[in-house]
Amino acid sequence: MKFICVIIIANTRNRENSGFHVERRMNMKVTLKDGSFKEYAQPMAVIDIAKDISEGLARMACVAEIDGEVKDLRTIVDKDCTLNIFTAKDPEGLAALRHTASHVMAQAIKRIWPETKLAIGPSIADGFYYDIDRDEPVTSDDLAKIEAEMKKIIKEALPLERFELPRAEAIKFMEEKEEPFKVELINDLPEDAVISFYKQGEFTDLCAGPHLMNTKEVGKAFKLMNIAGAYWRGSEKNKMLTRIYATAFAKKEDLDAYVTMMEEAKKRDHRKLGKELGLFMMSDAGPGFPFFLPKGMILKNTLLDYWREIHKKAGYVEISTPIILNRSLWETSGHWDHYKNNMYTTVIDGEDYAIKPMNCPGGVLVYASEPRSYRDLPLRMGELGIVHRHEKSGQLHGLMRVRCFTQDDAHIFMTPEQIRDEIKNVAGLINQVYSLFGFKYHVELSTRPEDSMGSDEDWELATNSLQGALDDLGLDYVINEGDGAFYGPKIDFHLVDAIGRTWQCGTIQLDFQLPQRFELEYIGADGEKHRPIMIHRVCFGSIERFIGILIEHFAGAFPTWLAPVQVKVLPISEKYEEYAKSVKAALDAADIRAEIDLRSEKIGYKIREAQGQKIPYMLVVGQKEQADGTVSVRSRFKGDEGAEDLNVFIANIKAEIAGRVNRPVEVKKEEEK
């Protein structure tokens, strides 16, 4: 047998050497997320690879990432690759579930109203939507009807089948279906674009995907939320369409939690509370330009006083720069080329001018106004500057999205050696601010966008500096590829409010470009001229937006130090008005913001109204209080706190205000029941 084996091997070698073809089976290597790998002798669909890994994974799988690109589970893998399979627990998997749900919703709408024209239906941060066009308006009463039809489609477990068509055939296909919006989308695709469709039962939609395998996988945890108007392709020049917002989750308990959060958000809506509490107003005389009312100005100024206090301690100087500057400045800064569509412009003495959308060029001019030495650096210049940016009318939303706002800017000029320490100092300041209000937050590092200026070397150094500072601080962060500013990478702070929503507020942007474009200099220790590095940063972001967030975070019940009215004095009857006035005078003398209610109403009514106004403290005064020189204290935190000497109350509330204490509400057991 040994002899025979030797002969066979030798014969094989001779055949190879003599030109005979010998087929060699090469295994396909699929590297998984954990670094392990699978090998296959033939092409495999991703869903089959998932089954090979784990039947449980295959049941939960939604989509997969193949060499960094998110694809359907039906995708065939035919070469070595890296593979990461996503479930609905992953953002990519949940997005695919929601995108598939949007197709199910479109199919349901077409079944109910076949004449409907479809526009687009993407997944978004909190769910999905579909823009549609029909002669008859869709009302809230119709949502239940659409949901019922969606449940039928899901129960049918229709497989989603992907196919591609050449451009001409794709256009003809959608023209025959009388879908003009889809035809327009196809016409606007690049010449070399792959034009793909997804079919489920009788319904076919133009779509790049990816999607789940069949409609059943959408599950039962979905809900249509509301209806809004939306211009086709976001342009006010185009037709107004009907947008149906919805959401979907993998589990019903996640949907229930989201719906509860949205109901709570409605109660906290800053537009509603802002009106009820007399904080701000909007006017048709200037859409997107907020008016702050007296109580709103107290709130705003209290925030700004706090801002000035902490920045003075952190070594900042405050400046103020003009609102309008000429075109040449904005050309030098790069804003005229990169941001002009968002700027308001005017002509003065025959020259083009722009209302500033950002404070940074003004800060640069202040730096350049006198010679600088390395001994002057870091130079930290803060500015509470009013900026104007053109936002589309459909995107305006209370204080959250406005056209005029105050930015709590600061620009720090420094040497390269100071970059990391300055970034860490700013991060510490932002942490101090958010901690005061009880916000948790997470951090994103945003890298170079396509529309950027500057050299590869500058961008690499800037990005590495930000990343190094975050690593030094031990902060967890995610990298947001391509979302940096056009002049530099940035760190964004996303705070989490009382009901779990996230808001992007604080940011740190590292900029090598403006110092170069404005030829900024400092004299170094070597006596030579050097170029400073610049940091742009905000803590609050937009003061207006931050106030909107605070209103919703606290549901209008601000901490005592921040409340526009801190104490309401309530005399039981007109007999005790003089004593009530003396109490108010004592509060005024102590710089405590107080009001007095002298109306001839019952005390219970006065208390309920003060509670509705979210006032931290009510001081009820009557015969006993007048005789004893005391006040009966009722608070938003504990209810009835009993009688207290007026001077003791003043000392206590002054300590609470000075310490900027966020006093928690104590829920009594009988109230819990």
Q: Among positive and negative, which fits the CA dihedral 374, 376, 379, 384? A: negative
Torsion of CA 246, 250, 252, 255, to 10 degrees: -40
CA dist 465 and 3 (Å) reads 69
The three-class DSSP label of residue 445 is strand
Sign, Cα dihedral of 255, 256, 262, 268:
negative
What number of other Cβ atoms are within 10 A of residue 293's Cβ?
A: 17
Choose the catalytic residue: 98, 200, 401, 407: 407
Place of tokens 């479109």: 106
Distance CA 347, CA 331 (A): 15
Vertex 567 angle, CA 564 and 568, to 5°: 105
In three-state secondary structure terms, 290 is: coil
Marked catalytic residue, from 99, 103, 403, 490: 490
Give catalytic status of residue 360 as yes or no.
Answer: yes
Rounded-to-integer distance, Cα 498 and Cα 664, Å: 13
Q: Given 74, 268, 536, 593, which residue is catalytic?
A: 536
Instruction: Assign 637 to helix, strand or coil.
Output: coil
What is the token pair recorded at 532?
């400073």
- Is residue 505 annotated as a catalytic residue, yes or no? no
HSE-up of residue 269 (Cα within 13 Å, Cβ side):
10
Q: Which residues contact 192 (CB under 8 A, 6 or more apart)?
A: none
Provide CB contacts within 8 A for 402, sequence distance 6+.
288, 289, 290, 391, 396, 542, 544, 545
CB count within 10 Å of CB 537 equals: 25
Catalytic-residue membership of 389: yes
* Beta strand residue intervals within 201-290, DSSP E: 203-206, 222-231, 240-248, 280-281
Give the three-class secondary structure for 344: coil
Catalytic position from the list 62, 360, 505, 539: 360
Active site residue 539: no
- Among residues 536, 530, 538, which one has the least CA distance to residue 417? 530
- Strand order through the sheet with 502-511: 317-318, 379-388, 404-414, 533-542, 502-511, 490-496, 440-446, 477-480
* Amino acid in the structure at residue 653: I
Q: Which of 71, 411, 553, 634 is catalytic?
A: 411
Residue 408 is among the residues annotated as catalytic for this protein: no
Catalytic residue (choose from 409, 458, 497, 511): 409
Active-site annotation, residues: 360, 389, 407, 409, 411, 490, 536
